[in-house]
Amino acid sequence: MTYDPTGRLLLTPVDREASVRAQRLRRLGLGQHPDPVFDAFARRLAEATGAPYSLVNFIDENRQFFAGLHTPAGTHSGSDLSAVAAACGINRVMARDHGYCPHVVARRKALVLEDVCDYPRFAGNPVVDEIGIRSYLGAPLIDRTDTALGAVCVVDTVPRQWGLAGLATIKAAAAELVAQIHHREDGGI
């Protein structure tokens, strides 16, 4: 963990695998461009969980990149996460100290936050105040080389009861996406 000068616990965990992950992502050609297949995957995951927002997130040494992104279509009000995120300069790229996927990747375990405000460690994350995130459900994308490439997640601007079914869904989605990545690597489409 890192700390700021005022002594507040910051949310970004130390990531000792960042350089190995970045090399693996480059070899796979992931984490640099939006991918329509990953966008479709994020849409299906949002539908499966009933969440308005879903991400396929690859994390390198310096940033997070949403290669797959689903937001509610046609809404651009102040409550629309994509509009707020774009206004904050986030869009498909986000700093490593924002959000919860860096925790999922560093811990290599799924993370369920039904209300991020219930957890002091997570409530102070910039995505709470800047974007309005209130709930998070994510799982790591661990490939055949035992590299945590990133995470797949769903988020909402209201507290959500994800429960065991949500946890099972996000873990299954991560496994499915890793299988798709392996298929690509092996020469499949």
- As a three-state string, the secondary structure of 60-120 is CCCEEEEEEEECCCCCCCCCCHHHHHHHCCCCCEEECCCCCHHHHHHHCCCEEECCHHHCH
| C-beta neighbour count of 120 within 10 angstroms | 10
DSSP-assigned beta bridge partners for residue 53: 155
Of 87, 163, 168, 170, residue with least CA distance to 131:
87
pLDDT surpasses 90 at 37:
yes
Note the pLDDT of residue 88: 43
**Residue 133 pLDDT > 80:** yes
Ordered structural domains, the chain, with CATH = 18-185 (3.30.450.40)
What number of other Cβ atoms are within 10 A of residue 146's Cβ? 9
pLDDT at 45 over 90: yes
pLDDT at 108: 96
- Separation CA 149–CA 21 (nearest Å): 6
pLDDT, tens only, 47-75: 999 999 999 999 998 899 999 999 886 33
The pTM for the full model equals 0.85
Number of CB atoms found within 10 A of residue 78's CB: 8
Confidence of residue 85 (pLDDT cuts 50, 70, 90): low
Q: Which neighbouring-strand residues pair with 66?
A: 57
The arithmetic mean of pLDDT across residues 4-27, rounded, is: 76
